[in-house]
Amino acid sequence: MDVTQNLSFIHLIQNASVLVQLVMGLLLLVSLMSWWFIFLKMFTVRQAVKQSEEFEESFWNNDDLNRLYQNTSVMRGDSGSMGRIFAAGFTEFLKLKKKHGMDNNAVMDGTRRAMRATYQREMDILESHLAFLATVGSVSPYVGLFGTVWGIMNAFRGLANVGQATLAHVAPGIAEALIATAMGLFAAIPAVVAYNRYSHDITRLASRFEIFMEEFSNVLQRQP
């Protein structure tokens, strides 16, 4: 317990107790995963927004719904969430129209149901992993704190056996323990920021989809 003890970063992690090391490993894993999801969400949300804009533009600039339907059904994967909602609704509409004797209201109900189903599926995909980010943001500080508390407990327990207590006896232990808190915060802060950002983005996307569905229903109802 020299004062000139080597307190480098790696040394501190190596000296920590097994439980604190486990906590640190868990936090590292969680942090890696949360960052992975952050980047994944960033790319997917950005792509979804871009595709929605493109689809809306082509929808409002195109009079012929049949051609638009053919285009979207051909490019399937690239048309984006809004394109898929449109395709599902229009498919259902055509199917119901072929059945004669169907009430116009019934046709519209069926179409709307089909669109809503697709919308729910798309939202589910877009919102995937967001819950994980929220969990990491709220829990990982506590996990880090747990590691810190445990480490400090150990440090003070060691202090009990020494006759003359000096700060030099406790300091390395506390430093070791505090690394766990630092890691927890490192995992939590970006996760919270990303969660808020992406949930906001996805909410906006969802409202956009709903508005589109309503407008598209109106367009279909006007169809002969």
Q: Which residues bind another protein (CB under 8 A)?
A: 3-10, 12, 28, 31-33, 35-40, 42-44, 47, 76-78, 81, 84, 98, 100, 121-122, 125-126, 175, 186
- In whole angstroms, how close is the CB of 110 to another protein at the nearest point? 19
Residue 222: CB atoms within 10 Å = 7
How many residues can be counted in the chain? 224
Q: At what angle do helices 130-160 and 167-222 cross, to 10 degrees?
A: 170
Q: For residue 100, give the DSSP letter.
A: T
- In whole angstroms, how close is the CB of 96 to another protein at the nearest point? 14
* Residue with smaller CB distance to another protein, 100 or 222: 100
Region for 199 from its dihedrals, namely left if φ exceeds 0, alpha if ψ lies in -120 to 50, beta otherwise: alpha
* Residue with smaller CB distance to another protein, 39 or 142: 39
| Radius of gyration from C-alpha coordinates of the chain | 28
List the structure tokens of 219: 């367009």
Contacts of 9 (CB under 8 A, 6+ apart): 179
* Residue with smaller CB distance to another protein, 27 or 220: 27
Q: Cα–Cα distance between 107 and 94 in angstroms, integer? A: 9
- In whole angstroms, how close is the CB of 36 to another protein at the nearest point? 4
- Contact of 183 with 144, CB cutoff 8 Å: yes
Q: For residue 99, give the DSSP letter.
A: S
* Residue with smaller CB distance to another protein, 6 or 218: 6
- In whole angstroms, how close is the CB of 84 to another protein at the nearest point? 7
- In whole angstroms, how close is the CB of 19 to another protein at the nearest point? 21
* Residue with smaller CB distance to another protein, 189 or 218: 189
DSSP secondary structure of 10-31 = HHHHHHS-HHHHHHHHHHHHHH
* Residue with smaller CB distance to another protein, 84 or 112: 84
- Tell me the backbone φ, ψ of residue 172, rounded to 5 degrees: -60, -40
- In whole angstroms, how close is the CB of 212 to another protein at the nearest point? 17
